[in-house]
């Protein structure tokens, strides 16, 4: 376990003198007084990637302003028909602001933070007041204590995506702090009205869980679909249903929810957030306890994560002993009512988040190895069918089925990203960004940034052409027009991976703060490019596109300061560091490349800003 508390992370620079100019050619100067400061004075012509980054931040902001004005009112309410359910419900409403917290944390204008916080506050009020008539557990409000009353973590996670990332930019908001503690407390059994967790058997007791506790009976189509509603000539449903009856039929087999399921591991993000905000060990300890229990179950099940744990703690205990049973299980193949086709809906892969949360806290490879071994075990079941090598995705009473041409690779890319082991490259098929990091795809930055600019243009055009009205619009209808486009910026600026939209944390090699305005995000005019990464270093280029003003940026080691800088190289010159941050001053129009050595996953992750922990 890490022993270094955030308050002791002071910069230490090994130098012969207090300040040093490494060379006139590099024009780099380093001051030893903490925090360590580098000055870049050499001017450069702004490269294409730097100008595109700055343009993308500006375009995102303008597009989100227009989108917010179109689909939200002055209270922060989404202008839609409010419903409960898996087809369309409270989670979909706030998902219309997905990626806005990351956009602000990257450096977009403060109006982004203001808008998504207003939407979140409005959302909580809107769906606390919204009540069902026939769905029993939401008749007094779809939210209770500002949290879903009881639902599965496919949807709970989606509805928490915006909130769980607010700490990147605004960890000191008092209401945020209260909610982080309260939400985690629902799973630490700190609320007697929400006994979701069984500490004896180390299980979350049902697939449906929340602020009113677990649902301890079989679920019905009504529980999932929500109250009856007019469909024809009014709404276009995301699953393609043409009537309310087809909505209910969609969920008619979604019954076996009692007992634990891997997707409940998404709840560990609540405990992770609470630990990163407060530093209190109880949240970390609960997370390890729960994830370790799932790790053991997977090992006991021949390296395959089971999809049902009974109330007695046994594998398959609530599904007649079938480790593959239950809703969203390995054998969960259902009929699509409007077409009669079979749909395979196995969500075991959502459990991967729990193991990466534990890895973020510990740096212990045993949490990565669980998924590494599962990938190998499933791919070992491949066979040649009609001359092609095929690999299964499902398992039922007759064994493995749903064979597909590609190898099973769920979680493989993320495993490699965290481990940075060459041996883990075989766990996934590769992508353009990884090829760029290998030095084989030099055009990737500009192409990826231009792709996100095009995505903004396309989504704004779609929104402007949208003819729905608030009474013909469901909560998920505007989502396809949400213009926030950050995938390229996460990769190129942060050396990070997109956290997805189920409430996960942001995993990044570096992050940026503006010490002048005292906010998260890269300062105006500054652009950053992660050019290379390995297990112990990151190569980073910084450019000040502002030709008139000096800019200062604080670089943090990791998304939550979980890493530690150990050295700095610029050209032929190197110095030692011992800090989770580095301050860089860039003269007007200046830029340069820095190679930062680091120890990864050596600090307790924290939401505290650099100047709040020095």
> Is the peptide bond preceding residue 74 cis, with omega within 30 degrees of 0?
no
Neighbouring C-beta atoms of residue 11, cutoff 10 Å: 20
The CA-CA-CA angle for residues 179, 183, 185, to 5°, reads 115
In a domain, 318, yes or no: no
Rounded Cα distance between 280 and 286, Å, is 11
Kindly tell me if the per-residue pLDDT of 66 is higher than 50.
Answer: yes
- Total structural domains within the chain: 1
pLDDT tops 80 at residue 81 = yes
What does the pLDDT average to over 461-486?
97
Q: Which DSSP helix (H) or strand (E) runs through 122?
A: helix 110-129
Round to whole Å and give the CA distance between 443 and 410: 27
Q: Kindly tell me if the per-residue pLDDT of 245 is higher than 80.
A: yes
Q: Is residue 319 part of a domain?
A: no
Domain housing 570:
6-48+509-613
Give domain status of residue 405, yes or no. Answer: no
The answer to whether residue 26 sits within a structural domain is yes
In the prediction, which pLDDT does 239 show?
79
CATH of the domain at 562: 2.60.40.1180
Query: Is residue 382's pLDDT more than 80?
Result: yes
Q: pLDDT-derived band of residue 13, with 50, 70 and 90 as boundaries? A: very low
Residue 343: CB atoms within 10 Å? 12
Is residue 570 included in any domain, yes or no?
Answer: yes
Range with the poorest average pLDDT among 13-17, 41-45, 523-527, 569-573: 13-17
- Residues 327-352, mean pLDDT to the nearest whole number: 96
- Overall residue count recorded for the chain in this entry: 614
Q: What is the pLDDT of residue 241?
A: 87
Is 438 part of a structural domain of the chain?
A: no
Distance CA 566, CA 413 (A): 26
Would you say residue 6 has pLDDT above 90?
no
Query: In angstroms, how far is the first alpha carbon of the chain from the final one?
Result: 21
Mean pLDDT on 91-118: 98
Sequential DSSP letters for 371-440: HHHHHHHHHTT-EEETTEEEB--EEETTEEE--BSSPP-TTHHHHHHHH--GGGGGGS---HHHHHHTTS
User: What integer pLDDT is reported at residue 238 of this predicted model?
Assistant: 79
H helices present in 420-510, as ranges: 432-437, 444-465, 487-494
**357 within a domain of the structure (yes/no):** no
Mean pLDDT, residues 206-230? 97
Tens digit of each residue's pLDDT (9 = 90 or more) over 403-462: 999 999 999 999 999 999 999 999 999 899 999 999 999 999 999 999 999 999 999 999
Average predicted confidence (pLDDT) for the chain: 94
The predicted-structure confidence for 120-176, as pLDDT tens digits, reads as follows: 999 999 999 999 999 999 999 999 999 999 999 999 999 999 999 999 999 999 999
What is the per-residue pLDDT for 430?
86
pLDDT at 10 over 60: no
**Which pLDDT score is estimated for 210?**
98
Give the span between the Cα atoms of 266 and 502, in whole angstroms. Answer: 7
Domain-embedded: residue 607: yes
What local confidence, expressed as pLDDT, does residue 36 receive?
A: 87
**Confidence (pTM):** 0.95
**Residue 473 scores a pLDDT above 90:** yes
Q: What is the mean pLDDT of residues 291-300?
A: 98
């Amino acid at each position: 376990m890490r022993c270094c508390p955030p308050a002791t992370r002071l910069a230490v620079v090994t130098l012969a003198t207090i300040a040093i100019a490494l060379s006139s050619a590099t024009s780099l100067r380093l001051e030893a007084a903490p925090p360590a400061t580098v000055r870049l004075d050499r001017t450069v012509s702004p490269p294409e990637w730097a100008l595109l980054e700055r343009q993308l931040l500006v375009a995102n902001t303008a597009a989100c302003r227009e989108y917010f004005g179109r689909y939200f009112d002055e209270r922060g309410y989404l202008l839609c028909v409010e419903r409960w359910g898996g087809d369309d419900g409270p989670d979909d409403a706030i998902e219309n602001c997905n990626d806005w917290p990351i956009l602000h944390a990257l450096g977009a204008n403060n109006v982004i933070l203001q808008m998504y916080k207003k939407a979140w506050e409005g959302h909580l009020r809107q769906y606390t007041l919204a009540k069902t008539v026939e769905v029993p557990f939401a008749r007094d409000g779809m939210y209770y204590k500002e949290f879903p009353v009881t639902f599965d973590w496919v949807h709970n996670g989606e509805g928490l995506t915006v909130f769980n990332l607010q700490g990147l930019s605004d960890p000191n908001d008092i209401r945020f702090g209260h909610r982080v503690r309260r939400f985690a407390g629902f799973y630490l059994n700190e609320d007697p009205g929400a006994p979701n967790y069984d500490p004896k058997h180390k299980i979350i007791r049902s697939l449906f869980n929340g602020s009113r506790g677990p649902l301890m009976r079989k679920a019905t189509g009504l529980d999932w679909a929500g109250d009856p509603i007019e469909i024809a000539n009014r709404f276009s449903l995301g699953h393609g249903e043409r009537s309310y009856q087809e909505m209910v039929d969609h969920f008619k087999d979604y019954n076996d929810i009692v007992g634990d399921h891997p997707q409940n591991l998404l709840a560990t993000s609540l405990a992770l957030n609470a630990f990163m905000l407060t530093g209190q060990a109880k949240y970390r300890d609960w997370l390890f306890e729960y994830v370790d229990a799932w790790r053991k179950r997977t090992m006991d099940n021949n390296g395959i994560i089971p999809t049902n744990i009974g109330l007695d703690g046994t594998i398959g205990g609530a599904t007649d002993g079938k480790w593959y049973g239950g809703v969203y299980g390995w054998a969960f193949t259902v009929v699509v009512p409007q077409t009669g086709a079979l749909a395979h809906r196995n969500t075991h892969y959502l459990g991967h988040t729990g193991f990466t949360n534990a890895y973020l806290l510990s740096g212990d490879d045993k949490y990565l190895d669980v998924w590494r071994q599962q990938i190998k075990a499933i791919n070992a079941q491949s066979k040649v069918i009609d001359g092609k090598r095929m690999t299964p995705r499902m398992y039922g009473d007759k064994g493995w089925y749903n064979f597909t041409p590609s190898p099973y690779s769920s979680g493989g890319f993320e495993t490699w990203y965290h481990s940075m082991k060459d041996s883990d490259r075989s766990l996934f098929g590769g992508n353009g960004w990884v090829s760029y990091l290998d030095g084989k795809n030099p055009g990737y930055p500009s192409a990826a940034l231009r792709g996100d600019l095009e995505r903004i243009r396309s989504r704004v055009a779609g929104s402007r052409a949208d003819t729905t009205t608030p009474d013909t619009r469901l909560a998920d209808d505007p989502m396809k027009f949400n213009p926030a486009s950050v995938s390229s910026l996460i990769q190129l600026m942060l050396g990070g991976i997109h956290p997805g939209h189920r409430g996960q944390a942001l995993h990044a090699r570096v992050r940026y703060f503006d010490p002048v305005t005292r906010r998260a995000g890269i300062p105006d005019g500054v652009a950053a490019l992660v050019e290379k990464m390995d297990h112990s270093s990151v190569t980073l280029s910084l450019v000040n596109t502002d030709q008139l003003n000096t800019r200062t940026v604080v670089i943090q080691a990791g998304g939550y300061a979980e890493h530690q800088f150990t050295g700095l190289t610029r050209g032929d010159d190197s110095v030692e560091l011992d800090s989770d941050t580095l301050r860089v001053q860039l003269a007007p129009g200046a830029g340069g490349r820095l190679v930062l050595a680091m120890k990864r996953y050596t600090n307790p992750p924290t939401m505290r800003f650099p100047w709040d922990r020095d």
